Chain A
Amino acid sequence: MNTEAGSIEKKKEKRSEMIRKLGPFFALIVLMVFVTIMNPNFIQMGNILNLLRQVSINGLIAFGMTFVIITGGIDLSVGSTLALSGALGAGMIAGGWSPVVATLAALVIGALLGAVNGTLIAKGNTAPFIATLATMTIYRGLTLVYTNGNPITGIGDSFFFQFIGKGYLFGIPFPVILMAIAFGILYVVLHKMTFGRKTFAIGGNENAAYIAGIKSDWIKIAVYSISGLMASLAGLILTSRLNSAQPTAGTTYELDAIAAVVLGGTSLSGGRGRLFGTLIGALIIGTLNNGLNLIGVSSFYQQVVKGIVIIIAVLLDRKND
């Protein structure tokens, strides 16, 4: 091989990799600058913390979704998982359980709901879209059955539970801190540990991964469990923030999470993706929601703008391929 051509190719490869990695980041900066020019209130610390707190719920769900999408799957049930585990958690607290125990139980339930998805997909050989479409309906139905269609209130004023959604630590909203912790842990799991490597391998080429000795079934079940766990954590934050568990909470949240993942440059066909990109993707969506409200754009146009941003992001990603 011609070494000169090789090094040029290498440079090219590196540059497109840089664009792919940093593209969403620059897009976020441009967006933030734009909104700031239109309404300087945007960049004030108060609003930034407000924005981060708003992002935390979608962010957490999207982190779990990133794992799922990297395996080449999809999890449509996250919104319903959020509602069901939130409702069960709230119900337990309202029923007199210790809030700490109820919170942990709700997280375990979320992970189990995810594990059901994973088992259907890995062991039952169902397409992820179909399996999670079905559980999306089932979990939503169970939420309505459990709550009887009414919001669950009377969660009381347990400092612990209130703190999850409404707390501040050193001036930073606690949901934001939870998001940061989840990001840190999941980042390491995805990018530094064998589990993450296997996740990428399954998404890159499931047959090859299997033949290389990876127990793809178990990895998949674990990945969907992570997605369920993140959804239930988001559900607890939401329940705490709203001081009630809503039976219809989280409807269509799966779409925002998928959008964040895709904006972050993770490929829907699996095998490629980064958690940092998803964080940026969630921030972009959050900035759009918050910023367009601040600028005073009509909510009808907001939806149009969000869709266009997603299309642009995906087209740019294609181009870099």
Chain B
Amino acid sequence: MKKLVALFGASALLLGACGTTGLEGNDTGDNGEEGVESVARDEMTVGLSLSTLNNPFFVSLQEGVETAAEAEGTDVRTVDAQDDTAKQLNDVNDLIQQGVDVLLINPVDSAAIEPAIESANNAGIPVITIDRSSEGGEVITLVASNNVEGGEMAAQRIIDLVGEGAITVQLEGVPGASATRERGEGFMNVAEDGLDVVDSQTANFNRSEGLTVMENMLQSNSDVEAVFAQNDEMALGAIEAIEAAGLAEDVIVIGFDGNDDALAAVEEGRLDATIAQQPDEMGRIAMETAYEYFEGGEIEEYIASPLELIINE
């Protein structure tokens, strides 16, 4: 206890002399406008902060970054936030402490990542966000699939297959997650006028929840014609419920992401379509963009990672 007080006291004196009282992030450093100091590719250290590695999508993303980096001899330090906004803030601070040259951040949440981006800005470390944006701070670019556009694509596909006013239900992702918001938003943009959305509930991006939520929905809406699941996992769960109810012929299901299981299901004709993202491509683009940045290239504010409607022809 005494030691601790002494420690705090000593550091207070030490740093108090510097007059560092105020807010994190208010310390506007001299970094920013002065142009980029170039770093050779094989001497570069990249900090990669991922939202989670508990999901094949982000593992592919990580592989995309690493494959691109390895080819050039760049060192990648990866940290996994385990879907915890606060852990991600700590992770990014740790990467800053390690003195990485550039940060590739895949935010857990767009709002909550802002302070982390600001810390990086203060340390003069350039940031590229991947898959999800940041609501604040200075970012070189965002590399992402356009989730809103993907949602629109899905709704349009339903209209194409079933027709205007199709009775549709939506399976939503984790409440509050940006993908949930954006895909839902895009979907509703088109569906509001084009479809009859009778129910929309969360299944937390989870296959088994997709199954049970779909089972419940079929109880109350037996005349459903189409299902939009905000990711493939939920879509695959919903298909199980629909097939068990003997409605496979009557209901079309559209997923999102384009993971391996979903692609196989499309091949078999069980899943009618998925809006495929290409996470490895996303990772590769992010890495390439970092190289370009250090080599003085002009960078767009937003780089779209390709999105593809996969259907069984």
Contacts and interface: CB of A to CB of B under 8 A. Distances in A.
Q: Direct A–B touching in the complex (beta carbon < 8 Å)?
A: yes
A150 B176 contact: yes
A171 B15 contact: yes
A232 interface: no
Given A151-B109, A172-B8, A241 B97 contact: no
B269 interface: no
B170 to A, nearest CB: 14
B4 A180 contact: yes
A249 interface: yes
Contact of B24 (A47, A167, A187, A294): A167
A243 B115 contact: yes
Given A244-B109, A246-B85, A248-B174, A293 B4 contact: no
Given A45-B11, A144-B175, A246-B176, A294 B86 contact: no
Contacts of B84: 251-252
Interface string A272-306: 00001001000000000110011010111000000
Contacts of B111: 151, 153, 242-244, 246
B80 A299 contact: yes
The residue among B13, B24, B89, B98 with the most chain A CB atoms within 10 A of its own CB is: B24
Contacts of B15: 45, 170-172
A296 B77 contact: yes
Given A187-B1, A276-B1, A244 B112 contact: yes
Interface in A84-124: none
Given A50-B94, A241-B86, A171 B112 contact: no
A41 interface: yes
A168 B95 contact: no
B12 A170 contact: yes
A54 B13 CA distance: 22
A156 interface: no
Interface in B16-52: 16, 18, 20-25
Interface stretch (A5-13, A129-137, A158-166, A210-218): A158-166
A296 B174 CA distance: 30
A185 interface: no
A307 interface: no
Contact of A50 (B77, B85, B97): B97
Interface residues of A, number: 57
Contact of A46 (B82, B95, B97): B97
B234 to A, nearest CB: 16
Given A162-B23, A246-B112, A293-B91, A300 B98 contact: no
Contacts of A290: 90, 94, 97
B115 A242 contact: yes
A243 B22 contact: no
A15 B106 CA distance: 50
A290 B87 CA distance: 10
Interface string A137-178: 000000010011111010000010011011111111100110
Interface string B87-115: 10111011101110000000001011011
B181 to A, nearest CB: 7
B79 interface: yes
A276 B5 CA distance: 12
Contacts of B25: 166
B169 to A, nearest CB: 18
Contacts of A169: 12, 21
B136 interface: yes
A126 interface: no
Contacts of B89: 241-242
A70 interface: no
19 contacts: A46-B97, A47-B97, A147-B176, A149-B180, A150-B176, A151-B109, A153-B135, A162-B23, A168-B23, A169-B21, A170-B11, A170-B20, A242-B89, A243-B112, A246-B109, A248-B174, A289-B87, A298-B78, A299-B79
